Amino acid sequence: MILLTFALRLFILCTLFTIVTSQCDDNGVIYASGDKWIRNNHFLVTCRNGKIQTLKCVTDSGHLLDVGSKTFVEQGYEYTCSREVNESLNTNSCPTFADFSDDIFKDRFAICCISRRFKGCVDVNGDIIKSGYFIIGNRSLKYCRIQPNQLQARIEPKGCFNGTINDDINDESLHIKKYAVWREGDIEYRCGDDGVHIQRCFPPELKNKPVWAGSAWIQDDGQVKTCGKIH
């Protein structure tokens, strides 16, 4: 089989000068701040402070790909969703009259091209967190720390977040220490290096004998069961 490479490049789109308002104008269609829509068939974008920002790539069948995700093959096409980055990022390459659309991103750091300083960290939704707790996927909890001069930044590991998007991320009763193990019903979870994962299952049909994540079994009634998501 021949794989065609289909690179979806993210474009940090230009700000249109919508004075004072934080709306976005996408070819004449006005979106409010926080709106999300599909642009050019292949990009899930949002309006953020008057700027259209790409959150995810969309394949032809509508599958959403995270920015920086591994390649994804669908119907013979190989998709990659990456930011257009220059390996040697340099704030001196920021244009003289930069605006917010010129922000540059390295790993999970966002750098403002106007001030040429760190402005925050990028969370699982592609939102920029100026400082404080944020989540990067699998409920992995991090803390974004920008030094006062904004020339240095650090993302600190903080274990996992045991809440939903509706919970307050600063609620420490929902913070879980790294390597903690706990059980909810028939499932045992562990907070590891890359977030919360199922560690063991205690299926009633196996008389609650524990099975490790990655196991599969066939029940008496023929149903196939698995413990955890196999990647």
| Cβ distance to ligand NAG smaller for residue 79 or 189 | 189
State how far Cα 112 lies from the chain centre. 20
Q: Tell me which residues touch ligand NAG (CB under 6 A).
A: 86, 88, 90, 93, 136-138, 140, 162, 176, 180, 182, 184, 194-195, 197, 231
| Cβ distance to ligand NAG smaller for residue 16 or 174 | 174
Q: Least CB distance from residue 155 to ligand NAG, whole Å? A: 12
Return all residues near 163 (Cβ < 8 A) that are at least 6 apart: 169, 171, 174
Q: Least CB distance from residue 83 to ligand NAG, whole Å? A: 13
| Cβ distance to ligand NAG smaller for residue 180 or 206 | 180
Residue 142's alpha-carbon distances to 1, 44, 86, 135, in angstroms, are 41, 25, 26, 6
Q: Least CB distance from residue 181 to ligand NAG, whole Å? A: 8
| Cβ distance to ligand NAG smaller for residue 120 or 195 | 195
State how far Cα 38 lies from the chain centre. 17
| Cβ distance to ligand NAG smaller for residue 182 or 212 | 182
Residue nearest to ligand NAG (CB): 137
Return all residues near 46 (Cβ < 8 A) that are at least 6 apart: 34, 35, 36, 37, 52, 53, 55, 126
Q: Least CB distance from residue 164 to ligand NAG, whole Å? A: 10
